[in-house]
Amino acid sequence: MKCVKVPLNQLNDIRIKLMEEGLMNMDFRIKAEDDFGYIPINEDVDGYEIVDITLEAIKKVPHNFSELLEDELTLEEIENLRTSFDTIGDIVILEIPEDLEDKKQIIGDAALKFTKRRSIYMKKSAVKGTTRVRDLEFLSGVDDSVTIHKEHGARLKLDVREVYFSPRLATERKRVMESVEDGEKILDMFCGIGPFPIVIAKNRNVNITAVDINESAIKYLNENIGLNKLKGNIETFTGDIGKVSEGFKCKFDRIIMNLPGLAYTFLDLAVDLIEEEGIINYYEFSDSYDSGIKRLKEACLKKNKEVEIINTRKVKSTSPGEWHVAIDGKIKNN
């Protein structure tokens, strides 16, 4: 097995660096012997001593989640739990119903064996407050809430306890990215750790302005810019978009507004900041597209503009009868 040989006191730092660069081979165990550590790698890495030694393979025994829990829960309860899994990098976040709370440890341990991920957390609240972060309780594995999630070839580093991130929006991000053309000036008003900007700038030569009020989100976005090979540029700002936008010197060809509970309160600003024929990717929670389309039309009317609705989608279900909906509108002068 090809490994880099490193002094033991540098093992952890180099392990994290290689993992971030996607160079570490995760199928084998790191070995420490005498004063050296041996980190398995996928390909040759410049700047290190490369050696060939035998390492123990990490066993991948297939565990069936149902088998692990069949003495404790009904099949329906197990199935509901299984569909509540959110996997973010090597972390799994579970939603455990109140009536199963007394079995949370058994469930967490079973999820650890079943998923073979590093850490299992359970949701302790809904996403809340301005930063849309939820409370989490550590259940099993290693209590380390920082991870690197891979999405459409992009690496997204984040702390699940400090920032908002949903892997369930991956398809929506790809769809928006595919509609972007090279040369666009884009504003992501509520960028979080930057999944829209990173996925877009990885695939398109664009200029993106990315804003978030959560300092930690922008800290991770700045790291993510360094972790990915980007075709485009991303400039980041920490703060309230209402204030940050006062310093903008240009208008934008596209504005992404993924703050579905409150984005409508920023529509007037978005209509001010959009170029003629620019596109607003607007999101809200709703049981239909009607209210969102009405809000876009009203915001345009106030500025003597009009909107052509070019696409609508249900991004994901949020509760029975309610959806996270996407509405794409092209904004034109009257």
Ligand X SMILES: C[S@@+](CC[C@H](N)C(=O)[O-])C[C@H]1O[C@@H](n2cnc3c(N)ncnc32)[C@H](O)[C@@H]1O
For ligand X, which residue has the nearest CB?
A: 192
As measured in angstroms, the least distance from the Cβ of 216 to ligand X is 9
Per rule CB under 6 A, is residue 164 in the interface with ligand X?
yes
The answer to whether residue 119 forms part of the interface with ligand X (CB under 6 A) is no
Indicate which single residue of 145, 214, 245, 281 sits in contact with ligand X (rule: CB under 6 A): 214
Nearer to ligand X by Cβ, of 66 and 166: the residue is 166
Nearer to ligand X, 132 or 254 (CB): 132
CB 254, min distance to ligand X, A: 14
Q: Does 87 bind ligand X (CB under 6 A)?
A: no
Residue 273 in the binding site for ligand X (CB under 6 A): no
CB of 77 to ligand X, least distance (A): 29
Bridge partners of 278?
331
Which of 141/194 has CB closer to ligand X?
A: 194
Taking the complex as a whole, how short is the minimal distance between the CB of residue 305 and ligand X, in angstroms? 23
Which residues inside 282-321 make contact with ligand X, applying CB under 6 A?
A: none
Minimum separation from the CB atom of position 247 to ligand X (A): 14
SS (H, E, C) the chain: CEEEEEEHHHHHHHHHHHHHCCCECCCECCEEECCEEEEEECCCCCCCEEEECCCCECCCCCCCHHHHHCCCCCHHHHHHHHHCCEEECCEEEECCCHHHHHHHHHHHHHHHHHHCCCEEEEECCCCECCCCECCEEEEEECCCCEEEEEECCEEEEEECCCCCCCHHHHHHHHHHHHHCCCCCEEEECCCCCCHHHHHHHHHCCCEEEEEECCHHHHHHHHHHHHHCCCCCEEEEEECCHHHHHHHCCCCEEEEEECCCCCHHHHHHHHHHHEEEEEEEEEEEEECCCHHHHHHHHHHHHHCCEEEEEEEEEEEEEEECCEEEEEEEEEEEEC
Q: Which of 39, 93, 112, 191 binds ligand X (CB under 6 A)?
A: 191
- Closest approach of Cβ 135 to ligand X, in Å? 16
Q: Which of 80, 131, 222, 312 binds ligand X (CB under 6 A)?
A: 131
Residues in the interface with ligand X (CB under 6 A) total 20
Nearer to ligand X among residue 38 and residue 165 (C-beta): 165
Site of interaction with ligand X (CB under 6 A): 130-132, 164-165, 169, 190-192, 195-196, 211-214, 217, 240-241, 258-259
